[in-house]
Structure 1
Amino acid sequence: MIIDWIKFILLGIIQGITEILPISSSGHLVLFQYIFDLQQPGLAFEMFTNMASLIAMVILFYKDIWRLIVQSFKFLFKRDLSAKNDFLYVVKLMIAVIPIGIFGLLFKDEVEDIKNILFVGFALMFTGLLLLIIYRFRNQSETHDDVTFRDALFIGFTQSIAILPGVSRSGSTIIGGLSQKLSLKSLLKFSFLCYIIVSVPASLLSIIDLSSQAETIDWIGYSLAFIATLITTYIAAYLVMKRLQVKHLLYFGIYCLSVGLIAVITHFIL
């Protein structure tokens, strides 16, 4: 039992780190559950740990969230023109999350059926290839900081691909934003705020799923994973906002290609 709890903690740490870095949290959870031989209600566990990541992100960005909420209300109900830009930023966030919300609802069951190391392996290789392409052809001298409606829409569609296990959500938003010449700093903030919006309904759904599976869930293990995910998500997001540079995409791309290739080979030899 203690060994299983340690595995839950490790899965929580993996979720927290990989949710933030462009290397796919869903894909890594599939791989490590396979490695640990830990049979769990996969979607319920993933959504449970996503809830922990959501809380961590809200703590990290609470000032921005509060400002956007207050300013949006000022613009809508008081017609305060000084709050217009913040209100439009919220609109852009909503535009960016609509595609992944629609695809997530439409293909929820199909996505659950393809959570295996073979599919994850190919998806990680796909993510890695895209990261290397955007790194190779990125022109860092021509960037803009303000997210446009076109940026938001394009990021939304690239982000929707991340419903596939092994395709990184943060990676897909980075790829979408950088391809539109949005600066990395602005893109990261926009990406993380998108994550918060997407995760709210997902967290509510996780509560329903967990209540229906209450008798089969290891609540101590889930709780340990929750705490580990919350702490590591906060630390990882803080460091990414401070340290991540475009040049680092090279390393993440090579990593995803390597792990993906190992996963594919493992599927065929074991």
Structure 2
Amino acid sequence: MNRIVELIKYLALGVIQGITEILPVSSSGHLVLFQHIFGLKLPGLGFEMFTNMASLIAMIVYFRKDIWALIIGDIKFVFKKDQSHKESFEYTVKLVIAIIPIGIAGLLFKDYMDQFKSLLSIGIALMVTGLLLFSIYKKSISDDGKTEITYQDALAIGLVQSVAILPGVSRSGSTIVGGLFRKISIKSLLKFSFLCYIIISIPTSLLSILDLIDSNESIDYLGYFLAFGITLITTYITATLVMSKLKTKHLLYFSIYVCTVGILALISHFIF
């Protein structure tokens, strides 16, 4: 019976990871909250590596055509000097520009992140995320903004996105806030955001594999693979829904939800 409960926990955490990784609600914040509020002892580095890898694969599968088009376009522009693919190459450069700030922030503050995993800090971070989403909703920014992302836009998105290394601050949420303030259409912004996520996650996942090998951590292969499978499926489904359905007006609901969860985290901190 205990084993069944353990496997259900892995499945539940996989669902949470898959949904919250895409939605602007902070996956790291939710996982920490479930650990604190429900007394769950989160699995170690191996579990994190498996679920993050699952989300990454799901996103690569979803954006496979866009990724392949960028790769082919970049190769033809760089090696064959085909000017018709200049736009593709410049888009790739903008993606790289956007991930530099969060990459630097991650390297500088990686060893300090555990200090921000208390209910108090998670609650505050979630409240900030919720208020930022509400500010975008209140401005009534149109969904049909510009489709072209400039170098300045890429840098602005990258700077805002770098704050998301803090548990409780949503990466997708911060990117949406930064991009919509730059008057970028939500469709173009979401695509840019998720492609940034893919680029960031590839080296991060590889480093996690190396860390796991060095740690000699024991792995519950059945539990981890169940979590991997459910994370992959929920990530893909959530990405599909978000790309087809998300509008600026929906940010109000996410704002209310995130603020509510943040308040619950703060209450739990002061009561328990």
TM over 0.5: yes
In the alignment, what sits opposite 2:198?
A: 196
For 1:156, give the aligned amino acid: G
In the alignment, what sits opposite 1:32?
A: 34
- Write out per-residue CA displacement over residues 78-113 of structure 1, whole angstroms, 9 at most, x where no aligned residue: 010000000000000000000001101111110123
Structure 2 distance, partners of 1:226, 1:261, is 30
Question: Which of 187, 190, 204 in structure 1 is aligned with 2:189?
Answer: 187
For 1:175, give the aligned amino acid: V
Structure 2 matches for 1:78-93, cutoff 5 A?
78-93=80-95
- Write out per-residue CA displacement over residues 127-176 of structure 1, whole angstroms, 9 at most, x where no aligned residue: 00000001111431872111111110000000000000000000000000
For 2:163, give the aligned amino acid: I
For 2:171, give the aligned amino acid: R
Structure 2 distance, partners of 1:267, 1:192, is 33
For 2:145, give the aligned amino acid: T
Deviates more, 1:177-186 or 1:29-38: 29-38
Unpaired segments of 5 or more residues in structure 2? none
Percent identity of equivalent pairs = 63
User: In angstroms, what is the RMSD of aligned CA positions?
Assistant: 1.5
Note if 1:244 corresponds to 2:251: no
* Contact 2:126–2:258 (CA under 8 A) maintained in structure 1: yes
* Contact 1:47–1:202 (CA under 8 A) maintained in structure 2: no
In the alignment, what sits opposite 1:233?
A: 235
Structure 2 distance, partners of 1:269, 1:190, is 41
- Write out per-residue CA displacement over residues 192-234 of structure 1, whole angstroms, 9 at most, x where no aligned residue: 0000000001110111222234443323222211111111000
Q: 1:104 to 1:92 in 2, by over 3 A?
A: same
Structure 1 distance, partners of 2:162, 2:95, is 14
Question: Which of 9, 30, 41 in structure 1 is aligned with 2:11?
Answer: 9
Question: Which of 224, 228, 251 in structure 1 is aligned with 2:226?
Answer: 224
For 1:188, give the aligned amino acid: L
Unpaired segments of 5 or more residues in structure 1? none
Q: 1:43 to 1:171 in 2, by over 3 A?
A: farther
3-state SS of 2:142 partner: coil
* Contact 1:98–1:156 (CA under 8 A) maintained in structure 2: yes
For 1:232, give the aligned amino acid: T
Structure 2 matches for 1:101-180, cutoff 5 A?
101-140=103-142, 143-180=145-182
* Contact 2:14–2:230 (CA under 8 A) maintained in structure 1: yes
* Contact 1:44–1:209 (CA under 8 A) maintained in structure 2: no
Structure 2 distance, partners of 1:183, 1:42, is 38
3-state SS of 2:148 partner: coil
* Contact 1:26–1:46 (CA under 8 A) maintained in structure 2: no
For 1:136, give the aligned amino acid: K
Structure 1 distance, partners of 2:249, 2:20, is 18
3-state SS of 1:107 partner: helix
Structure 2 distance, partners of 1:194, 1:132, is 24
Structure 1 distance, partners of 2:111, 2:156, is 25
* Contact 1:7–1:36 (CA under 8 A) maintained in structure 2: no
In the alignment, what sits opposite 2:56?
A: 54
